[in-house]
Structure 1
Amino acid sequence: MSPGASVGGGPAEAERGLWLAGAPDRTDLAIFTDRALRLDDAAVIRLRTRTDDSVIAWVATGFDVLASRVVGGRVTPRDLSVGADALARGLASGSGPGHVDPGFAMDSAWHGALPPDSGFVHLDDVPARVMLDLAERGAELAREHGSAHGPPASLLDQEVLAVSAGDLSVGVPMRCVFALTAMGFLPQSGQDAGADEIVRVRVQPAWLRIDARFGSVCRRRGDPSLVLR
């Protein structure tokens, strides 16, 4: 056996990179990466092992909200931050399953903690159409009152939806709605196929999480700026 080879013909344990399970996973991650680059051409994506056969990709959206997408595959090391531009090039170099070169490690460029994988309480399901309507109204207000620096903070921080279950209630800020639409996690406006879709609102003491068909967004509760620290 040659140096660095692995038992069973798989990649050597010391080998670094991303291995995707199939072509749909490559496509899904490429779309996620492209959306991240539209928001920030210097975006950093954090790839983490979720299960033995799945990887979760995280990115800071610029709205003080984190976005994530799960794809089939594995990553070595198990927690790796890379430039979105380099990852996009690696994904574009192939068309199916297998190894992806994610580029140089940029672990020091990731600022802030990630939400836990468990401990969230399901509050309620909200029709995706409600989120789309809120996004459209928010975009109109942003065009009217925004500046070269983007929508005003007062608009972003406004809680546009209240979700509750029993004695537990949480407000959903416009930041989360904008992040959902900017990352393409909701069906496109006007598509009949999305009329019956829902988004799931979950919460735990430190985080608010909203799960949509194409991905999730998370917002730190209490002091949201801690997301970027």
Structure 2
Amino acid sequence: MMPGQGTLLVPDPAERENLSTFVGRAVRLDPAAVIRLRRRGDRYVSAWAATSFEVLAVRTVVGELGVDDVTAGGDVLLTGLRAPASDGRIDLGFSMDSAWRTALPPVTGFSHIDDIPARSLVELAERGVELAAEHGSGHGPPASLLEQTVLTVTGAGERAEVPMRVVFALTAMDFIPHGGDRPDARRIAPGEIVRVRASRTWLRLDARYGSVARRRGPALLAR
């Protein structure tokens, strides 16, 4: 049975835990975070969060959504995921559609550029944190550091530049598996990879536990 318009159904407890972890990280980064839920085919729901790095994060789980597209408060969604109704349904509360102001990338149209070692990205993030501590302020890392291209990936006739803000978002959302409380390059398996994909207008990094996406060029904002 399809859930009501204001509800989400994620029957598998493991999938519910996966989504709860994603939403929890988004809320930890921004207590006022909203989560945009979109139906993806007949069996999947994608959850999107806009991070403070002006980079989008997404995780897809097996589930059912009562509408094609709805935005929920992160805190409300997290509460529902941790204590769903007896039938597994999650109340999304009041619609927060007006709070979402960011365009989403298309589902298709991405080319696979190359795979890069996840350890390398975590090492870049670690160096970036050190630089941010030296040159940042109470408002976070300087814009010049966030915009700096830290990796250039080529393949399939494409060239993609990866800025530090995308690397920061990937590690802040904890999408790369590691053996500790936080990402540490020394604990990343050597064979763990992150897939770099790009379209004409978007860059996307796909890791084991989720993806981050950033519009190529100016302006992430625009619905």
TM-score (norm 2): 0.92
1:123 matched to which residue of 2? Answer: 113
SS in 2 for 1:136: helix
- Say which is worse superposed, 111-120 or 193-202, in terms of deviation: 193-202
SS in 2 for 1:226: coil
Aligned residue among 51, 64, 71 for 1:74: 64
Aligned residue among 179, 191, 201 for 1:196: 191
In the TM superposition, residue 60 of structure 1 has moved relative to its aligned partner by: 0.3
Cα 1:97–1:194 shift into 2, 3 Å? farther
1:157 matched to which residue of 2? Answer: 147
In the TM superposition, residue 190 of structure 1 has moved relative to its aligned partner by: 5.1
Specify the code of the residue in structure 2 equivalent to 1:109: A
Deviations 1:49-104 (A, max 9, x none): 01211100000001110000001101111201011011011111139972111221
Cα 1:116–1:47 shift into 2, 3 Å? same
Structure-1 separation of matches of 2:87 and 2:36: 20
SS in 2 for 1:151: coil
TM-score (norm 1): 0.90
* Contact 1:36–1:61 (CA under 8 A) maintained in structure 2: yes
* Contact 1:47–1:55 (CA under 8 A) maintained in structure 2: yes
Structure-2 separation of matches of 1:139 and 1:219: 20
Specify the code of the residue in structure 1 equivalent to 2:24: D
1:210 matched to which residue of 2? Answer: 205
Cα 1:154–1:97 shift into 2, 3 Å? farther
SS in 1 for 2:129: helix
Cα 1:11–1:56 shift into 2, 3 Å? closer
In the TM superposition, residue 108 of structure 1 has moved relative to its aligned partner by: 0.7
Aligned length: 218
Aligned residues: CA RMSD: 1.8
Structure-1 separation of matches of 2:101 and 2:169: 18
- Say which is worse superposed, 90-99 or 106-115, in terms of deviation: 90-99
Q: Does 1:60 align with 2:50?
A: yes
Structure-2 separation of matches of 1:104 and 1:123: 40
2:220 matched to which residue of 1? Answer: 226
Specify the code of the residue in structure 1 equivalent to 2:74: A
* Contact 1:64–1:228 (CA under 8 A) maintained in structure 2: no
SS in 2 for 1:216: strand
Specify the code of the residue in structure 2 equivalent to 1:226: L
Residue identity (%): 53
SS in 2 for 1:194: coil
* Contact 1:23–1:97 (CA under 8 A) maintained in structure 2: no
SS in 1 for 2:116: strand
Structure-1 separation of matches of 2:16 and 2:125: 28
* Contact 2:6–2:92 (CA under 8 A) maintained in structure 1: no
* Contact 2:170–2:211 (CA under 8 A) maintained in structure 1: yes
In the TM superposition, residue 18 of structure 1 has moved relative to its aligned partner by: 0.2
* Contact 1:142–1:152 (CA under 8 A) maintained in structure 2: yes
* Contact 1:23–1:96 (CA under 8 A) maintained in structure 2: no
Specify the code of the residue in structure 2 equivalent to 1:195: P
Aligned residue among 11, 15, 21 for 1:21: 11
Q: Does 1:168 align with 2:163?
A: no
* Contact 1:23–1:95 (CA under 8 A) maintained in structure 2: no
Cα 1:48–1:152 shift into 2, 3 Å? same
Pair member with larger Rg: 1
